[in-house]
Amino acid sequence: MSVLLLAALTIPGGLAAFLTFGRPRVGLAIGGLTSILAIVVAASIGPHDAAPLVGTVVSGSDGLRTVALTWAAGIALLGLADVLVGSGGATLGPSLMGLGTGVLALSVADAGIGFALLTAGGMATALGPLAWLHGAAPDVALLGLRLLRPLAVAGFLGLAAVAWGASALGPFVAGDPLGGSDPALEIATGLGLLVVVTAVVIRMGAIPAHVWASRLAEAMPVAAVPATLGWGAAGFALVALAWVDVTIAPAAAPLFAERGLIALVAATSVLLGGLAAILHDDLEHILGYSIVQDAGIALLAFSEIRPDLALAGRDWLIGMVAVKSGLAAWVLVTRSTFGARRLSELRGWARSSPVLGLTFAVVALGVVGLPGMATFGARGLLTESAVASPFDLFVLAAAFAPIVYLGRIAVAGLDRMSDAVLAAEGTRPRLRGIRPAGWSAASVAVVARAVPAAIRANRFVIAAATALLVAVIGLGVATAGIAGDAADETLGGAGGATGATGAASRFEAGR
């Protein structure tokens, strides 16, 4: 029931926050309240949480609770930082709608529902903030069309693959377990796998479908990036993994060419995504291309269809999205605090703001990882199993590109302070001067009236503390992972394929 409650809370709540954003106080009050309630409801999701919904069962699990709780907390904290120092909270309502549809999509055993809901949620998350952007309107409209098309295409391909899987051409009806391997079915199974992986490549912005992701990262408010490219895309990939597990894996076709092609695309994304993050000088592109690189590693889970790799893929997806939410929060606050986005303009940022320095250290630890962390093990397993030796070592080495691009940021932070950094307010707390009479010698009412001014004066330090909290949550998820939780109760649909049960029973009936 908690999953349904979460969807019933966040979808209308997010819509109301989005529609009332023209009156910022009302919109933010609705969005903030919905975010807090979403965290509470997400924390109550559990394995015994099952409820019927129009012919389908919506069920929870420990893994889903981890995902929903981290997603909801990320939205609330990033939303708070965005309100204080970013776009004013324009991303809060759309992100909440994405949360509601995403968690609902992951709770049903039907990939068709999952792809439809996640595509709808992705569109709302990516395009909603456009309504409140005051840029050059032709450019904003063009950006909207450039974001709308890839999101739609990914959803269409996912739905098409699901339709094929449940049809008479799919493995449930066409496959004859007693008749040996059928070359036509093997080709069809390979094409089905390629179609759904293409959908994932486009949705996650992996190379060569990275252009829209790059545009999103450079032009949209930073708080919209983890919601669209992170959580929504990870949910899409989780549903795709579940569909492959149910539809493609039982066919037991070797699919050498298809798996090789997927591994090639994944390795290209890992190599070039990391290289692009190293070469770019501005924070938004570094964030965007680091997510592209993560997508490449996640794609490796599709190149070898094995249960342990699917679990490693889930660990990697959720852990990295949580960590990259922390990186996005750090980018948002750093950019706003110093009024600069290029590394050359941000020299000395860490010396000026120790809180942001600590946040960055936590993010870097989560991104690079340490032995024993879930994401560290998942990355090693995915590269080792999916890429042939000795190329796996190259891909694994490229997967550690964060050491270089995050190292550059760290070195810049310890350099002499640039003019932009020197001129910035910084993130030190300011308590003096807000109330001349002092805090202790005044009545409660007077102190309460001074609170808004105190928040305004300290907005950068509050935002920095918020970013630190997001980074710590991300590190926790990256360390613990969700594979153990999800091993017994599949995340993204236990059935995994639309009509799978119906098609299988038709097959049985016909025999």
Partner 1 sequence: MNPALAGVALAVTAGAVIAASSREARAALVGLALVLGFGPFLAEPLPGAAILGARVVTGVLVVYLLWAVTASNESPGLGSRIGWPAETAIALGVAIAGVAMASGLASLDPSLPPPAEAPDPLDALTPAALALGAGLASLVVGLAPAFFGRGALRTAVGLLLVVQGLVLARTGLAGPPGALEQLGIDGLLLTLGTSAALIAIIERRSAGDAEPGDSRRGDDGRPARATIGTTDRDAAMPSAR
Closest approach of Cβ 447 to partner 1, in Å? 24
Question: What six digits make up the tokens of 503?
Answer: 């098609």
**Minimum CB distance to partner 1, residue 404 (Å):** 25
3-state SS class at 95: helix
Q: Is the dihedral angle over the CA atoms 3, 5, 8, 11 positive or is it negative? A: negative
CB 189 within 8 Å of CB 171: yes
The one-letter code for the residue type at 204 is: M
Cβ neighbours of residue 217 under 8 Å, at least 6 residues apart? 225, 229, 284, 285, 287, 288, 291
Phi/psi at 51 (nearest 5 deg)? -145, 140
Alpha-carbon gap, residue 441 to 10, rounded angstroms: 42
Shortest Å, Cβ 315 to partner 1: 27
Nearer to partner 1, 292 or 299 (CB): 292
Q: Which is nearer to partner 1, 404 or 422 (CB)?
A: 422
Nearer to partner 1 (CB atom), residue 157 or residue 398? 157
282: left (phi over 0), alpha (psi -120 to 50) or beta: beta
Comparing C-alpha atoms, which of 3, 239, 8, 207 is closest to residue 118? 239
Structure tokens at 248: 């493609």
Q: Measured from the CB of residue 234, what is the shortest distance to partner 1 in angstroms?
A: 19
For the bound state, the minimum distance from the C-beta of residue 56 to partner 1, rounded and expressed in Å, comes to 4
Q: CB of 303: closest distance to partner 1 in angstroms?
A: 27
Element housing 250 (H / E): none
Tokens 């809180």 — which residue?
Answer: 355
Local structure of 441: helix, strand or coil: coil
Pair of tokens at residue 8: 């019933």
Q: Which is nearer to partner 1, 355 or 482 (CB)?
A: 355
Q: How far is the CB of 140 from partner 1 (least distance, A)?
A: 5
**C-alpha–C-alpha distance, residues 398 and 400, integer Å:** 5
Q: What's the min distance (Å) between Cβ of 280 and partner 1?
A: 13
Q: Nearer to partner 1 by C-beta: 153 or 396?
A: 153
Give me 402's structure tokens: 């964060």
Nearer to partner 1, 228 or 383 (CB): 228
Nearer to partner 1, 98 or 481 (CB): 98
Q: Tokens 């949620």 map to which residue?
A: 121
Q: How far is the CB of 65 from partner 1 (least distance, A)?
A: 21
Of residues 397 and 455, the one with the C-beta less far from partner 1: 455
Q: What is the dihedral sign for C-alpha 384, 390, 394, 395?
A: negative
Nearer to partner 1, 372 or 510 (CB): 510
